[in-house]
Structure 1
């Protein structure tokens, strides 16, 4: 495989999931052929928008767009990531691409935890809307909260111990 930033179009197949590594999140698109991808983009997913991820969190709508892969990727690293093929058989490629193309131009609900760009492409490829980013963030949040709780409890126990001495 070539550079981690650019894959040749020969390596990309219609229906492939493209994971794009933004500064603090991953944007997802689905390859539909001829150098183009379909993706769900909040109004703030623009090339020059450095606060896109913050503004996306505030948005409740997004648009299905068909763009050149290189325009969506910009200077970010990306890869093909059909990560659930083992557990969720992909739909037929013709159906994936047809469904993606039919949605182009539509406004859709957007929510970071239930209707984001990863949910969108997973539903196109597998027929199931899912987002590992959300699952991992929730798990990390839970671990973080548990860690803070453990630290507070430990601190309180140490204070009691010192008071008794």
Structure 2
């Protein structure tokens, strides 16, 4: 599924990063050409920082690290633009349904902070393939180890390139450890990503919340809205998917036929 040659992929040179971002599908794989190796990650979607006026961030999840972080390697969140850092970006085509991709996104977030990196048995490619199609395999590692005399120099070059890129990315990162993010998953539900005391890359807490909390998500992302028939005589009736499941769960609601960009008008969240 999706990380291979069945559905294909498209490579975008560094100057076409904006086009690569438009081609990415939330819950699917991307890879960055580090000259000797590809660094794999999963694109989660666009996340809006809490607060008005903030621009959305293209968010990915990957197994990565650098020599001066503790732990040196872990599952973490990053801005796609910080990880790309002038590399060619490979975007894998994905035709999976929204429910399946939403599971991948949620599993990524649940594994933030996990450690145990191993070049041969648990690298970035193992992580991505295991989450997307359940097979913990790294084909570039197999190919490298198959001809060690010829390929080990390639492996060393690839590792040094990854380290240099991560260090540069940290100096220019847009993603702050204490930021609250609103991420609309492939099923149009808004997940609020809460940082813990250690920051976004140690572990995160998830909570469904009203989309009013993230004005950018309301204004720019098509979401599923509902009419609350029970509340229609008193309050405006357009409410988001999360409010249907929480503060309006005892109300009679009707789902709108099409998704749209618009504000949730739930009176409970004023």
Q: What range is the shorter-chain TM-score in?
A: 0.5 to 0.7
Instruction: Tell me if the contact between 1:61 and 1:107 (Cα under 8 Å) persists in the aligned partners.
Output: no
The whole-number CA distance in structure 2 between the counterparts of 1:26 and 1:93 is 22
Which residue number in structure 2 is paired with residue 80 of structure 1?
A: 91
Q: Secondary structure at the match of 1:133?
A: helix
Pair 1:37–1:45, CA change in 2 (3 A)? farther
The whole-number CA distance in structure 2 between the counterparts of 1:143 and 1:24 is 12
Which is strand-richer, 1 or 2? Answer: 2
For 1:127-156, what per-residue CA distance to the aligned partner results, in whole angstroms no more than 9, with x for missing partners? 111101111112222888xxxxxxxxxxxx
Which residue number in structure 2 is paired with residue 99 of structure 1?
A: 107
Q: CA deviation at 1:63?
A: 1.1
Which residue number in structure 1 is paired with residue 13 of structure 2?
A: 4
Q: CA deviation at 1:118?
A: 0.5
Q: 1:62 aligns with which of 69, 73, 83?
A: 73
* TM-score, normalised with respect to structure 1: 0.65
For 1:71-95, what per-residue CA distance to the aligned partner results, in whole angstroms no more than 9, with x for missing partners? 011111111136xx8xxxxx91011
Alignment map for 1:103-114 (pairs within 5 Å)? 103-104=111-112, 106-114=113-121
Structure 1 residue runs of 5 or longer lacking an equivalent are 47-59, 86-90, 145-165
Which residue number in structure 1 is paired with residue 123 of structure 2?
A: 116
Q: Which moved more, 1:35-44 or 1:109-118?
A: 35-44
Which residue number in structure 2 is paired with residue 44 of structure 1?
A: 67
Structure 1 ranges of 4+ moved more than 3 A: none
Q: Using CA pairs under 8 Å that are at least 6 residues apart, name the structure with larger relative contact order, 1 or 2.
A: 1
The whole-number CA distance in structure 2 between the counterparts of 1:135 and 1:2 is 22
The whole-number CA distance in structure 2 between the counterparts of 1:2 and 1:112 is 25
What is the CA RMSD across the aligned residues, in angstroms? 2.9
